[in-house]
A = this chain, B = another copy of it.
Amino acid sequence: MAELLLILNIIGTVAFAVSGAMTAIKKEMDLLGVTIVGAITAVGGGIMRDIIIGKIPPDAFTDPSYVLIACISAIVVFTYVYFRASGYEKISGAKFQKIVLLADTVGLAAFSVLGVEVAFNAGDGPRLFLTVFLGTITGVGGGVLRDLLVGDKPYILCKHIYACASIAGALVCALLWDFSGQSVATVIGASTVIIIRLLAIHFEWNLPRIRHHGIS
């Protein structure tokens, strides 16, 4: 159980750091900018969660190993693209995008259930709304900060059932927590995120939106 979470956490950190680094490279930021955006994408959601529940200083600052993992991941991506003439094209290619998308999905799943776990351990009894919210903000918070920093419209507000998958997984995990035990709740919650997200990508599900070209 602890090992499972640890592994998911590391995969999520690397995946989010890579997605942040690639976004920053697309905006022509420099090496430090790419590293910072990568690190904030990876640990930003957890920091927002810790500030909301009063875990001060946030975990990311007292145990910097995840920040370190994220920085190294971002620097590796930057170096790969920088030293190979065709690196940027490769990194933008369909195959690489697919790997990032899959890793990102695993990361979203891991961070969403991790947030639920932190919320339960913070005590104060069961408050379903707060618990699900903390799970979701742990999962999607880093991506929102990434988009704000590089000046994009936040991805989760526009596309692909992203936050929906996180909310559903956190809700399933929180509801099962007392009935089925932590381990089962964690696995089923994380699986819920992954399944919804993969189905949404495969079938190109999107939430309804209102188009109004040329009106506003």
Residues in chain A within 8 A of chain B (CB atoms): 24-33, 36-37, 51-54, 56-58, 61-62, 64, 67, 78, 81-82, 88-89, 92, 127, 129-130, 133, 144, 148-154, 156-159, 163-164, 206-212, 215-216
Contacts and interface: CB of A to CB of B under 8 A. Distances in A.
A215 B32 contact: no
A158 B54 contact: no
A158 B30 contact: yes
A129 B64 contact: yes
Nearest to A149: B154
Given A56-B53, A151-B153, A130 B28 contact: no
21 contacts: A25-B210, A26-B212, A28-B209, A28-B211, A28-B212, A29-B158, A32-B156, A32-B207, A33-B156, A37-B157, A51-B51, A52-B61, A57-B130, A61-B133, A62-B127, A64-B129, A64-B130, A88-B215, A89-B215, A92-B216, A150-B157
A31 B208 contact: yes
Given A78-B210, A127-B62, A153-B27, A215 B53 contact: no
A104 B159 CA distance: 29
B64 A56 contact: no
B82 A208 contact: yes
A88 B214 CA distance: 12
Given A25-B210, A32-B207, 13 more contacts: A28-B210, A30-B158, A30-B206, A30-B209, A32-B157, A32-B163, A51-B52, A54-B56, A57-B130, A64-B129, A67-B129, A92-B215, A144-B149
Contacts of A163: 32, 36
A139 to B, nearest CB: 13
A153 B56 CA distance: 29
* Shortest beta-carbon contacts, A-B, top 7: A33-B157, A54-B56, A30-B207, A64-B129, A30-B209, A31-B207, A61-B130
Contacts of A53: 56-57
